[in-house]
Structure 1
């Protein structure tokens, strides 16, 4: 298994990932294609597709901040689910750096949300049940309520503030002004 970072949207790997992205996440948690095209080559952004035996099997989309990695989206193709590829991808990301990691999860109000939280907890992530709303991922979008999960430690007020400021300044404001 390998991760391949994409910096353009005009290739087969991106198109496969984009189709999975649309299937795996609700509209309010996804970017529109025009916005994705703007950010894909940002130095802090990683649009990594996962290749197993030369076949696309999923993706992880994440941002690098100073001392912090933010996993924005992770998905495995249906035919590859349950084989441990998502686990391996997250473990690789953890092992590559000593940076803290943060990610957003939907509130645990259905079985799939609960399974997702359990998945990350098995990898050592901590669930932080503070009031938090994701910034809109699309123009005129909504801000869904989410929980944050962090690795390796629980979220502190300082880390939360740093994350919110970094996300808004680097990932959000330049594209929504």
Structure 2
């Protein structure tokens, strides 16, 4: 399994990543293609496709900030789910990135609880901070997500560092970014 970086929407195979991205996340949780192109020019942002000897496995889009890495989007191709590809991808990522934050839906549905257990099996720990994620689109409301961090939960100071980066850098590439903040 290997991670291939993409720096432009014109890169070969980019359409496989974008199609999976569009299918995997609801509209309010993803940025427009135009905003995504702008984010791809940010040196802190990395778009990777995940591949193995059998072909395309999935995508992992992440940000590098002072305290570690933030996985913004992670998805496995429908044809590769249930084969432990997701676990192997994240284990490989964690070997090279020792401090990682990600967000998940609040664990109120069966699938959300399964998703939380999946990340916990890999060593992620839920953090206690309330996290309100702004929608990426103008017409959608913010939504609550749970913060998970590897290898330990976030302290308040660590969450503050992350949230400052998240709100001023990551969300810069959304329809809702307010540059006056």
TM-score, normalised relative to structure 2:
0.90
Task: Tell me the SS of whatever aligns to 1:133.
Answer: strand
Q: CA deviation at 1:104?
A: 0.5
Give CA deviations for 1:83-128 in whole Å, capped at 9, x if unaligned. Answer: 1221122112211133x21110001121211111111000010112
Task: Report 1:83-94 matches (<5 A).
Answer: 83-94=83-94
RMSD across aligned C-alpha pairs, in angstroms? Answer: 1.6
Q: Please name the residue that 2:144 is paired with.
A: 145
Give CA deviations for 1:115-161 in whole Å, capped at 9, x if unaligned. Answer: 11111000010112432111222344421111100111111100110
Q: Please name the residue that 1:133 is paired with.
A: 132
Q: Please name the residue that 1:2 is paired with.
A: 2
Give CA deviations for 1:13-58 in whole Å, capped at 9, x if unaligned. Answer: 2211111111111111111111001111321111100112262120
2-structure distance, mates of 1:109, 1:97: 29
Whether the 8 Å contact between 2:67 and 2:162 is mirrored in structure 1 is no
Whether the 8 Å contact between 2:127 and 2:154 is mirrored in structure 1 is yes
2-structure distance, mates of 1:104, 1:62: 12
Task: Tell me the SS of whatever aligns to 1:56.
Answer: strand
1-structure distance, mates of 2:169, 2:122: 27
Note the residue ranges of structure 2 that are not aligned, 5 or more in a row.
Answer: none
Task: Tell me the SS of whatever aligns to 2:104.
Answer: strand
Q: CA deviation at 1:67?
A: 2.4
Note the residue ranges of structure 1 that are not aligned, 5 or more in a row.
Answer: none
Report how many residues are paired: 176
TM-score, normalised relative to structure 1:
0.92
Give CA deviations for 1:65-91 in whole Å, capped at 9, x if unaligned. Answer: 012110111100111011122112211
Q: Please name the residue that 1:111 is paired with.
A: 110
The answer to whether structure 1 residue 102 and structure 2 residue 101 are counterparts is yes
